[in-house]
Amino acid sequence: MRAGGRLWSSAGMTTVYDFSARGLDGADVALEHYRGQVLLVVNTASQCGFTKQYAGLETLYENLKDRGFSVLGFPCNQFGGQEPGDAAEIASFCTLNYGVRFPMFDKIDVNGAAAHPLYQWLKGEAKGLLGSEAIKWNFTKFLIDRAGHVVDRFAPTTEPSAIRDRIEALLDKS
């Protein structure tokens, strides 16, 4: 089935590996590509008060990628119009301002009827404050274990460095 230009099937979606998303280069990327890795999935924006977290996310990625870790960035313009650019502008901004080398995907919705299927699943797997599912703002983070299961959800105010110990604990598990 194709939804919003993304390939997906609603049957048996139990891990992150059952989803695909379009990369900033326009190519469909099966998240199966990241099987066996610990992942931090983040909705991002270039003009947000938390945008400086790109630096911390890149540091985590660079320091831990050789151990089987990746950050997956999903730009979103649903919060205050803070990601107005197209794919080329987003890629340029992330590279020039923060040296981002972790995988970035095409802009998506994370809430509402048009929410990307990945985010529909993530929100159901790890509820937010007071059991809410909705993403409240940019830079909400979901930590995924090597088996593709959501193990935690972190608020936008949580700095990437504050998650490092949790990530390393998952990396140390085989």
Assess whether pLDDT exceeds 50 at residue 3.
no
* Buried b / exposed e along 138-166 (16+ C-beta atoms within 10 A): bbbbbbbbbebebeebbebebbbeebbee
Please name which of 65, 24, 19 lies closest in space to residue 44, comparing C-alpha atoms: 24
Q: One-letter amino acid identity for 131?
A: G
Q: What tens digit of pLDDT does each residue of 102-157 get?
A: 999 999 999 999 999 999 999 998 887 777 788 999 999 999 999 999 999 999 99
How far separated are the first and last CA of the chain, in Å rounded? 34
* CATH number assigned to the domain with residue range 14-172, chosen from the 4 options 3.40.30.10, 1.10.357.10, 3.30.450.70, 3.30.559.10: 3.40.30.10
Mean of the pLDDT values across residues 11-21?
Answer: 80
Nearest-angstrom CA–CA distance, 46 and 140: 14
Name, in order, each residue with C-beta under 8 angstroms of 20's C-beta and a sequence gap of 6 or more: 6, 7, 8, 28, 29, 30, 31
Angle between helices 164-172 and 53-64 (to 10 degrees): 20
Q: What tens digit of pLDDT does each residue of 63-87 get?
A: 999 999 999 999 999 999 999 999 9
Active site residue 48: yes
Q: One-letter amino acid identity for 7?
A: L
Q: Which of 48, 64, 110, 118 is labelled catalytic?
A: 48
Q: What tens digit of pLDDT does each residue of 32-64 get?
A: 999 999 999 999 999 998 899 999 999 999 999
Question: How much is the pLDDT for 133?
Answer: 82
| Sequence ranges of the domains in the chain | 14-172
Question: How much is the pLDDT for 11?
Answer: 46
